[in-house]
Amino acid sequence: MLGVDQFVPLTTQNFELRLFNMDGSAMSANSDLLTLSTDSIGAIEENQDIITVHYGNGIIKFPSKVSFNDVTWTLNCYCSPNVLGALREWRSQVYDAKTEKIGLPSQYMKLCYIVRYDAQGNERDVLKMPGVWVSSLNYGDMNQQGGELVKVSLTLVVSKVIPLTEAERS
């Protein structure tokens, strides 16, 4: 579509993940550090369960509950700033290995936004995900082969995804 501005592709590399406290009033601890260290975010998938009802010799299908898959978030690990330390801090809010206590939802659940931008930096797709939390933390591979950047990853538990309209983004 040469010369037609309405058909501009949305590319995979123009995105960011933003974390806020659950009430949305302030950025959560280390939010900028984690946003800037992001390497990739797995696909966000919405699934509709189905209720099947037998009717005569056939079946009728109705929609049931909606569920969302957990998402893998991969980050580039730096010594300074301490990306792994920030992730461990969030993970310890869910489960503290030292005290063996599980935290309170108000401490570990975060309001998360995933924003996709076009090539000019305009927001084109915004997903609001209230109540995300870390269920697992992968400390990254180690080997004696060479000098590659360590990538750490975590699993974000997603309970709800709300696509925001253009008016809601303003």
- 68 CB contacts (<8 Å, ≥6 apart)? 44, 45, 46, 47, 158, 159, 160, 161
Write out pLDDT tens, residues 10-64.
Answer: 888 999 999 999 888 899 889 999 999 999 999 999 999 999 999 999 999 999 9
pLDDT in tens, 76-106: 999 888 999 999 999 999 999 999 999 999 9
Residue owning tokens 């590659």: 148
Identify the pLDDT of residue 1.
59
Question: Would you say how long the chain is, in residues?
Answer: 170
**Full-model pTM:** 0.88
pLDDT at residue number 119: 87
DSSP conformational letter for 59: E
